[in-house]
Every structure is written in C-alpha cells, then in structure tokens.
Amino acid sequence: MKVSNTRDVKQNNLRLVKEALKEVPYGTKNSIANATGLSLGTCNTILNLLEMTGEIVETENPEFTFGRPSKAYKYNADYAYICCVFVKHIETPSRQPMCDVCYAIANLLGETIEENTVHIDEYTVETLGDAIEEPMKKYDKIQTISLGSPGFYFNNKIMISGSDTMDGSDPVGYLAERYGCEVLIENDMNAIAYGVHTFDKSVSKEDDIVVVAFFKGRPPGAGIIINGKIMKGHTHFAGEVYKLVYPEGDIEKLVVTGDEGVINAAVTTTIDLCAVLDPARIIFTGGAIDNGKLGIIDSRVREVIPEGHIPLLTYGPDFEKYYIWGLCAMALK
C-alpha cells in the first residue's frame, strides 16, 4: 500500500494493527509488532488508542506463566456495525416494476447479526431509506451504510441503474443526511466480485478475476478485480459488458432467446475478457448459466483463444451471499 505523508503513514499503521488483531484470538504488543513489522513503541501507542476508544479490549493472556504478564488484547467485533443494503428487482406478470430491499447487519469481523428483506412497490431514495429504518433505529452501533446498486455512481448521481426513479438521484447524500452516518456505494457487480475475492477461500488472493452475472432475461454485467483492487475505469464504467459487440445480435434480445442465446453471449463475453484483461479466473453467477453450460462455453472459447491463455471458468450459485460479502468487505476496508 502506497503512503505519501505522515497522516497516511499513521492511518496505514492503524490499519495494520487492526487487521493483525482481527486475524487472531488475542494479541500482545510483541506479537502485533512481529505480525505488522512495526516498532514496539508504535504498536504500544496504537493499542493504547484503540483500547481507549473501545475498538479493542484487554483479555486474559493464556501464555502467561510467571513474572509480570504482558497485556493481551482482542478485537471488539461489536464496537460498530455495518448495514449492507442492495435492491433486487422482481419480474411480475403485469410488468409493473417491484423491488425487494435486502439488508444485512454485520459486525466488524463481517459476522451477520441480522438479515431481512423488505418489499417496496417503487424504488426511490425515500423508499430505500424507509426500508432500512427499522434496523437503523434498532442498532445504534451502525456507523456505516454500505449500499450496492446496478449501474454506477458518478458525480454524486446514480446512472444506468435500470430504474427511472433512481437515475440521476443521490442516495448517498440522502441516506447520510437522514441517518447521520457514513454511506458508501458500489456497483452491484463490483461488490459481488470483491466479495468473492475477499471471502471465497477457493479463490487465490493473488489471482486477477472477473465475475460475470447472467440473470434470466437481463443483459450481463461484470465485476473486475486486478491486483486485489476493483477496476472501475476513468468514469466508473468498467464492467458494463452488455455494451460489447455481440455477433449474434442485440444482447437484450439474445439473453431472452433461451440457453443457446445465453451461451452465445457468454462465449463472446469470455473471449473479449481474455483478450483485454487475461484474467486467471472467470466466475459466472446469476442463474442463467450453471455448471452444465461451462463445458460448452470453455470448448467454444478454445476455438479462438490460444491454449495457455484460457482462464479457469467456474460457477458461483449464491450471488446474494457474494453481494453481502462484498458490501461488508468494502466497509471494513
């Protein structure tokens, strides 16, 4: 991590100590210094500060046998909570737009305290705020709202969200003013990809990955992780793979023509991602593609991309879990 001034150095040292304590049941000044590479004096200063704020608490040192015991600390996971929120659009026979607001309350170790789904008939910043009012009042420890959204947030506006009532609005400003806490926002696919990168133990942290979602009847989207970071692009438009040129035709028509249309779209998407990004792994999710289609996609990609440059293609069934993982992980960072 690049640090450029004294404030950055202090913030980086604080992050190192907190992350070290999150990884172990307890830590002493010496063990934290060894884990972080920081001096004993720096660790002592930071530990005293964190103990004073309540973010860490003193605990029993099981290694103490005789003499003066070294103080041991453990991370206080319940020091603050995060409210992770995203909206799921529901298809109805009448084509009337309806949504479910899904939220999870998590502690500072990413452990879920509560999760729930609230139905709303119209997706606006006001109805979004109403949907999370109960948990926001219930848990006074919530310090951050981590919001996921289709499309992207740029210049304080939601763009291409798939909702006319949300495009051009500022949910970050609205929720921050309404609830008086920090509000983060991230594109849905970026959050899903970051969740997979952070919490999925089958994915190496060293791998560059792309998560591509094909939802039934909807254009695909992608989240890209390069060198452990979300690749957003100059205007946060990276990952909008539905704008690729699909030889078979309009992507919106292609994905509603059944399995063959989805496979054709997935093959084109994979080839383009290989040629431009060369990822180690592409993870498909979203329901329209499953394990049974991966072999077909892989064989057709091999007709175009040379052997040795084919990424591992896998399927991740639980995109909602990855979504919550990602929103939580971004808030924890």
- Residue 224 pLDDT exceeds 80: yes
User: Do residues 207 and 301 both lie within one domain?
Assistant: yes
User: Do residues 91 and 175 both lie within one domain?
Assistant: yes
User: Do residues 144 and 99 both lie within one domain?
Assistant: yes
Report, as an integer, the average pLDDT of 282-292: 90
Domain boundary among 14, 41, 75: 75
Residue range 252-274, pLDDT digits in tens: 777 777 788 889 999 999 999 99
* 121/98 Cα distance (integer angstroms): 5
User: Is there a domain that residue 1 lies in?
Assistant: no
User: Do residues 206 and 309 both lie within one domain?
Assistant: yes
- In the numeric block, which tokens belong to residue 50? 């964190």
User: Do residues 19 and 109 both lie within one domain?
Assistant: no
Residue range 199-210, pLDDT digits in tens: 888 899 999 999
Residue range 225-246, pLDDT digits in tens: 999 999 999 988 899 999 999 9
Range of the domain at 33: 6-75
Output the pLDDT for position 2. Answer: 54
Output the pLDDT for position 235. Answer: 87
Output the pLDDT for position 226. Answer: 96
Report, as an integer, the average pLDDT of 325-333: 91
What CATH number did the domain enclosing 51 receive? 1.10.10.10
What CATH number did the domain enclosing 245 receive? 3.30.420.40
- Residue 94 pLDDT exceeds 50: no
User: Do residues 157 and 213 both lie within one domain?
Assistant: no
pTM: 0.84
User: Do residues 86 and 43 both lie within one domain?
Assistant: no
User: Do residues 274 and 314 both lie within one domain?
Assistant: yes
Residue range 302-319, pLDDT digits in tens: 999 999 999 999 999 888
Report, as an integer, the average pLDDT of 322-329: 94
Domain boundary among 33, 49, 75: 75
User: Do residues 31 and 70 both lie within one domain?
Assistant: yes
Domain boundary among 16, 43, 75: 75
Output the pLDDT for position 97. Answer: 57
User: Do residues 205 and 292 both lie within one domain?
Assistant: yes
Residue range 101-133, pLDDT digits in tens: 999 999 999 999 999 999 998 889 999 999 999
User: Is there a domain that residue 35 lies in?
Assistant: yes
* 24/12 Cα distance (integer angstroms): 19
- b/e map 307-329, b = 16+ CB within 10 Å: eeeebebbebeebbbbbbbbbbb
User: Do residues 184 and 110 both lie within one domain?
Assistant: yes
Residue range 13-22, pLDDT digits in tens: 999 999 999 9
* CA distance readout (Å), 125 to 142, 144, 146, 160: 19, 17, 14, 15
User: Is there a domain that residue 196 lies in?
Assistant: no
Output the pLDDT for position 65. Answer: 55
User: Do residues 28 and 95 both lie within one domain?
Assistant: no
DSSP state of 232: -
Residues of the chain with pLDDT > 70: what percent? 94
Which band of pLDDT confidence, cut at 50, 70 and 90, is reported for residue 67?
A: low
What is the total count of domains within the chain?
3
